[in-house]
C-alpha cells in the first residue's frame, strides 16, 4: 500500500470515529443517568480541590475517569454534563487510534485500517464512547499498555534496544487501567500471560527482554498499589464488588449452575443475544452483525490454529481476559463489564478477511474497495440503530431521565428572577440522584432548589417560590394538593413524548408562605404527649401526659401540626396522617435521617402493629425556618383487635447502610421540655380500629 493511500484511509476512519462520537452529543443520549451525574459531581469536587483515592458514592468506584473529566472541565472552562461526555468521546476516538497503531505494528497496515474502521462504526463502541461512565476509558488504557508492551518486546532485536522505556510506559498504563474500572482487575493479566507465552514459543526473545517484561509487571503493581492499599483499609467503600461477587461465592460453594448460565448468555453476546438493558444497548442487539460475526468465528479459528503467532495469541489472551467479567455476571450490563475486549474483538474478523485477500492477492485499490464495502453496512446500521431506534425509544428516555433534562432547559429559558426558589417534585429526590444530575444539566446557578417526592411530601419555602410538578410525581395527598392549588398560579404545561412514562410537567408560581399559613391554620393543634401512663383502652386520652405544640425533637426539627384522616379506621384499611415540621437545623449530611409514624399497642405485644418510616423531603436539602409536610400511610392488618391505639411519631438517624453493615443502628431524636428529656417519640391522639365487617 502506498503511503498516501494509507494516510487517506486512516484519516477517513478517524474522521468517521469523531463524527459518530461527537454528533449531537448535547442531546443524545437524551439526558443523564444517576451514575453519570455521580461522575460529574465527583469531577467538580476534584476541580475544587478534592483528591480521592477511591470514590465512595454510587456503590464505590475507581477515580481516574473523574480526574480526566476534571481536566476536561478545566480545559473547556465548564462544569456541566458536556464536559463529562466530551471526556468519553475523546477517549473513544483515542481508543480507535491506538488500536490501529497496535494492529498495524502487530499485523499490518490493511489490518489496522479494517479493524479500526469496524471499531469506529461499531454500535457498541459508539454507545460506550458517548456515556459519561468510567468504563469508557478502560479500553484506551488497556490497548495503550498492550501497544507499549509490544514496542518494548518487538522493537529492535538485540541488547542495544532493550525497550526499558516502552516496558515502563506499558506498566504505567496497565497500572492506570486498574484505576478506571473493576473489569481491569482481570484484563491486566495480559502482562503476565503474554510473557509466559513468549517463553514458550520464542525463548530467544524472552531471554533478551525478560527484564523489561518483569519491569512492566513491577511498575503496574506500584502504580495500582495506592488504591488497593486504601481499599484494604476501607473495605466498606467497595460496595459494587461485593454485590457482583455472588456468582463467585456460589461457585466456591460448589454450585456451578449460576456461572454456567451466565457464561452461556454472555458468550451469546457476540452474535446471538446481546445486553438486555436499554441504558446501554438496543436490548438483544449482538456486538457483531451477521457478516462480521461469521468472519469473527472464522478469524477466531485461524487465531487458535496459529496460536504461536504473537499477535494472534495476544489478541486471544485479551479476548479471554476481557470477556471473563461477563462470564461471571451474565449478559445484563455486558456492554460495560466486557468492554475490555473492544480493542481486539474486530481483530478476528479482520484476520479472516485478510487471509482471503492475501490468498487472492488483489490490487491495492481493490482491497480498499473491499474494506469500504465491509464498513459501509455496519456504519449505516449503527447510525440507524443508535441515533434512530435507540435514542428515540421510551425506555431510553426513562433511563436517562429525559424529563429532568427538559425541566433544566425550561428553567434556563424562562425568565425567573435571580435567586428564585424552585421546588421540584421528583421520584428520586435523594441527594445523589436527581439533584446530582440537575447540578450538571442546569446552566444557570442562581436558583435555589428544593427537592421532594410530591407523592408524599411538600416543602413550603419561606418566600414565594416556583413549583415544578411532573406527571410521575404529582402532589397526591388531597390536603397538600389543595394547599398548592389554592395558592399556585400555572405558568406553563410542558408536553413531552406521548408514550413517555412521564409525558409532561407543570410549572407554577407558588405563594408558599401563605400556603403554609393556610394548612397550619387548618391542621390540628391538639395537645400531644411525650409519654404514656397507665393505658385504659376505653378512654385512652386520659392516659396522655399532655404537651403543647410546637414540640421540638433534638435541635433539628419541631412538630407544628398534623392532619389525621378521621379518628376511626377499619381492619385491613389504610390510615393516613400528614405531619407538619419546621426545620431548625440541617442534620449531619453523612447520616440518613428518617421520620417514623407507628401505631402502637399499649400492651406492648406486639409493640408496633403498623408503621411507615420514610422521609420524602430529604434532610440534606432543608433550610432552617422552612416548613415541610410528610404524609404517612399505615396499612391496618386484618388481625388487629378492635380498640384504641396511640400514634407515635418521631425521627431517627443512622449511618448510611453498606454491604458490610446493611442495617446500622439507629438513634432517635429526643423531646427536650424545660431542659429535661421527656421521651424519644411524640404521641398523637389515638385512633379507634373497628371490626367493620361485623357492623
The pLDDT score that the predictor gives to residue 243 is 55
Give dist(CA 504, CA 241) in Å, integer.
38
DSSP string computed for 413-424 = HS-PPTT-EEEE
**How many other CB atoms are found less than 10 A from the CB of residue 414?**
11
The reply to whether 458 falls in a domain is yes
Give dist(CA 55, CA 63) in Å, integer.
6
What is the DSSP secondary structure assignment for residue 61, as one 8-state letter? Answer: B
Domain membership of residue 438 as a residue range: 401-518
Q: Is the dihedral of CA 439, 442, 443, 449 positive or negative?
A: negative
DSSP string computed for 34-57 = HHHHHHHHHHHHHHTT---SSB-S
The pLDDT score that the predictor gives to residue 368 is 81
Domain edge (last residue) among 464, 490, 518 = 518
The reply to whether 636 falls in a domain is yes
The pLDDT score that the predictor gives to residue 605 is 64
Domain edge (last residue) among 376, 398, 420 = 398
C-alpha distances out from residue 584 to 254, 425, 553, 623, 625, Å: 55, 22, 10, 8, 6
Give dist(CA 229, CA 53) in Å, integer.
10
The pLDDT score that the predictor gives to residue 405 is 96
The reply to whether 199 falls in a domain is yes
For 144, the 3-state DSSP assignment is helix
Residues 464 and 559 in one domain: no
DSSP string computed for 219-247 = HHHHHHHHHHHHHHH-GGG-HHHHHHTHH
Phi, psi (degrees; rounded to nearest 5) at 617: -120, 85
Residues 418 and 363 in one domain: no
For 465, the 3-state DSSP assignment is strand
The reply to whether 217 falls in a domain is yes
**Helix orientation angle between 81-106 and 64-76, rounded to the nearest 10 degrees:** 110
* Bridge-based pairing state of the strands 676-679 and 671-673: antiparallel
Residues of the chain with pLDDT under 50: 533-538, 694-695
Residues 393 and 411 in one domain: no
Residues 79 and 108 in one domain: yes
Phi, psi (degrees; rounded to nearest 5) at 398: -70, -50
The reply to whether 76 falls in a domain is yes
The angle at the Cα of 431, spanning 430 to 433, to the nearest 5 degrees, equals 65
Residues 328 and 356 in one domain: yes
The answer to whether 411 and 420 are in contact (CB under 8 A) is no
Q: Which candidate, 551, 553, 560, places its Cα nearest to that of 525? A: 560
The answer to whether 595 and 630 are in contact (CB under 8 A) is yes
Give dist(CA 561, CA 568) in Å, integer.
19
The reply to whether 11 falls in a domain is no
Q: Which candidate, 479, 424, 483, places its Cα nearest to that of 454? A: 424
Residues 557 and 598 in one domain: yes
pTM of the complete model beyond 0.85: yes
Domain edge (last residue) among 344, 374, 398 = 398
Run of H or E including 410: helix 402-413
For the chain, give the longest Cα–Cα distance.
Answer: 102
The reply to whether 445 falls in a domain is yes
What is the DSSP secondary structure assignment for residue 109, as one 8-state letter? Answer: H
Beta bridge partners of 583: 557
**How many other CB atoms are found less than 10 A from the CB of residue 551?**
19
Residues 444 and 581 in one domain: no
Residues 202 and 304 in one domain: yes
Residues 290 and 390 in one domain: yes
The reply to whether 509 falls in a domain is yes
Q: Which candidate, 474, 498, 499, 502, places its Cα nearest to that of 488? A: 474
The pLDDT score that the predictor gives to residue 522 is 86
The answer to whether 66 and 87 are in contact (CB under 8 A) is no
Residues 470 and 580 in one domain: no
Give dist(CA 495, CA 557) in Å, integer.
38
What is the DSSP secondary structure assignment for residue 23, as one 8-state letter? Answer: T
The pLDDT score that the predictor gives to residue 660 is 58
The answer to whether 276 and 114 are in contact (CB under 8 A) is no
The pLDDT score that the predictor gives to residue 151 is 95
Kindly report whether the peptide bond that precedes residue 694 is cis, defined as omega within 30 degrees of 0.
no
DSSP string computed for 629-679 = EEEEEEEPPTTPPSEEEEEEEEEEEEEPP-SSSSS--EEE--EEETTEEEE
The pLDDT score that the predictor gives to residue 260 is 87
The answer to whether 132 and 85 are in contact (CB under 8 A) is yes
The pLDDT score that the predictor gives to residue 541 is 52
Kindly report whether the peptide bond that precedes residue 175 is cis, defined as omega within 30 degrees of 0.
no
Q: Read off the CATH number of the domain in which 563 is found.
A: 2.60.40.1930
The answer to whether 409 and 384 are in contact (CB under 8 A) is no
Residues 267 and 224 in one domain: yes
Residues 355 and 465 in one domain: no
Burial (0-12, 13-18, 19+ Cβ within 10 Å), 437: buried
The pLDDT score that the predictor gives to residue 404 is 96
The answer to whether 259 and 250 are in contact (CB under 8 A) is yes
Domains identified in the chain, total number:
3
The answer to whether 395 and 278 are in contact (CB under 8 A) is yes
Burial (0-12, 13-18, 19+ Cβ within 10 Å), 432: middle
Amino acid at each position: 500500500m502506498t503511503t498516501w493511500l494509507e494516510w487517506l484511509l486512516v484519516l477517513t476512519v478517524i474522521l468517521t470515529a469523531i463524527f459518530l462520537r461527537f454528533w449531537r452529543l448535547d442531546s443524545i443520549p437524551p439526558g443523564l443517568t444517576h451514575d453519570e451525574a455521580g461522575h460529574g459531581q465527583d469531577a467538580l469536587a476534584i476541580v475544587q480541590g478534592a483528591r480521592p483515592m477511591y470514590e465512595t458514592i454510587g456503590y464505590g468506584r475507581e477515580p481516574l475517569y473523574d480526574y480526566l473529566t476534571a481536566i476536561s472541565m478545566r480545559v473547556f472552562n465548564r462544569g456541566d454534563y458536556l464536559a463529562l461526555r466530551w471526556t468519553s468521546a475523546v477517549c473513544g476516538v483515542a481508543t480507535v487510534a491506538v488500536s490501529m497503531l497496535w494492529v498495524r505494528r502487530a499485523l499490518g497496515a490493511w489490518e489496522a485500517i479494517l479493524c479500526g474502521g469496524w471499531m469506529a462504526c461499531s454500535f457498541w463502541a459508539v454507545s460506550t464512547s458517548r456515556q459519561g461512565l468510567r468504563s469508557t476509558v478502560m479500553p484506551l488504557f488497556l490497548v495503550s499498555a498492550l501497544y507499549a508492551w509490544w514496542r518494548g518486546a518487538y522493537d529492535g532485536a538485540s541488547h542495544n534496544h532493550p525497550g526499558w522505556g516502552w516496558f515502563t510506559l506499558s506498566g504505567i498504563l496497565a497500572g492506570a487501567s486498574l484505576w478506571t474500572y473493576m473489569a481491569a482487575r482481570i484484563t491486566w493479566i495480559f502482562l503476565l500471560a503474554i510473557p509466559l507465552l513468549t517463553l514458550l514459543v520464542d525463548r530467544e526473545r524472552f531471554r533478551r527482554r525478560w527484564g523489561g517484561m518483569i519491569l512492566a509487571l513491577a511498575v503496574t503493581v506500584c502504580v495500582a498499589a495506592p488504591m488497593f492499599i486504601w481499599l484494604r483499609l476501607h473495605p466498606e467503600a467497595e460496595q459494587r464488588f461485593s454485590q457482583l461477587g455472588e456468582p463467585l461465592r456460589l461457585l466456591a460453594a460448589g454450585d456451578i449452575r449460576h456461572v454456567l448460565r451466565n457464561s452461556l448468555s454472555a458468550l451469546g453476546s457476540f452474535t446471538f443475544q446481546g445486553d438486555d438493558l436499554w441504558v446501554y444497548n438496543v436490548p438483544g442487539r449482538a456486538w457483531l452483525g451477521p457478516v462480521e460475526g461469521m468472519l469473527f468465528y472464522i478469524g477466531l479459528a485461524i487465531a487458535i490454529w496459529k496460536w504461536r503467532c504473537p499477535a494472534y495469541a495476544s489478541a486471544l489472551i485479551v479476548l479471554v481476559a476481557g470477556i471473563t467479567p461477563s462470564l461471571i455476571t451474565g449478559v445484563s450490563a455486558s456492554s460495560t463489564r466486557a468492554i475490555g475486549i473492544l480493542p481486539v474483538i474486530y481483530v478476528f474478523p479482520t484476520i479472516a478477511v485478510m487471509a482471503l485477500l492475501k490468498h487472492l492477492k488483489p490490487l491495492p485499490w481493490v482491497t480498499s474497495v473491499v474494506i469500504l464495502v465491509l464498513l459501509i453496512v455496519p456504519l449505516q446500521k449503527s447510525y440507524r440503530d443508535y441515533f434512530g431506534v435507540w435514542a428515540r425509544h421510551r425506555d431510553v428516555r426513562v433511563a436517562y431521565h429525559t424529563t429532568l433534562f427538559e425541566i433544566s432547559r425550561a428553567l434556563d429559558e424562562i425568565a425567573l428572577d435571580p435567586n428564585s426558589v424552585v421546588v421540584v417534585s421528583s421520584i428520586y429526590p435523594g441527594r445523589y440522584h436527581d439533584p446530582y444530575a440537575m447540578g450538571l444539566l442546569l446552566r444557570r446557578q442562581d436558583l435555589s432548589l428544593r427537592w421532594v417526592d410530591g407523592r408524599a411530601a411538600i416543602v413550603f419555602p419561606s418566600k414565594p417560590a416556583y413549583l415544578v410538578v411532573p406527571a410521575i410525581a404529582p402532589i397526591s395527598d388531597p390536603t397538600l394538593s389543595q394547599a398548592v392549588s389554592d395558592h399556585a398560579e400555572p405558568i406553563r404545561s410542558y408536553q413531552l413524548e406521548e408514550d413517555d412514562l412521564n409525558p409532561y410537567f407543570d410549572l407554577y408560581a407558588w405563594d408558599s408562605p401563605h400556603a403554609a399559613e393556610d394548612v397550619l391554620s387548618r391542621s390540628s393543634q391538639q395537645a400531644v404527649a411525650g409519654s404514656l401512663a397507665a393505658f385504659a383502652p376505653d378512654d385512652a386520652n386520659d392516659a396522655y401526659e399532655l404537651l403543647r405544640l410546637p414540640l421540638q425533637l433534638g435541635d433539628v426539627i419541631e412538630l407544628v401540626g398534623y392532619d389525621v384522616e378521621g379518628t376511626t379506621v377499619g381492619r385491613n384499611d389504610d390510615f393516613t396522617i400528614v405531619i407538619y415540621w419546621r426545620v431548625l437545623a440541617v442534620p449531619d449530611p453523612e447520616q440518613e435521617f428518617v421520620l417514623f409514624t407507628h401505631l402502637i399497642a399499649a400492651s406492648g405485644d406486639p409493640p408496633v402493629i403498623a408503621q411507615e418510616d420514610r422521609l420524602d423531603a430529604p434532610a440534606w436539602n432543608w433550610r432552617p425556618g422552612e416548613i415541610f409536610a410528610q404524609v404517612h400511610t399505615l396499612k391496618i392488618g386484618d388481625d388487629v383487635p378492635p380498640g384504641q391505639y396511640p400514634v407515635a411519631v418521631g425521627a431517627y438517624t443512622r449511618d448510611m447502610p453498606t454491604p458490610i453493615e446493611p442495617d446500622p443502628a439507629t438513634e432517635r431524636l429526643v423531646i427536650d421540655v424545660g431542659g429535661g428529656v421527656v421521651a424519644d417519640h411524640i404521641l398523637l391522639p389515638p385512633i379507634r380500629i373497628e371490626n367493620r365487617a361485623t357492623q
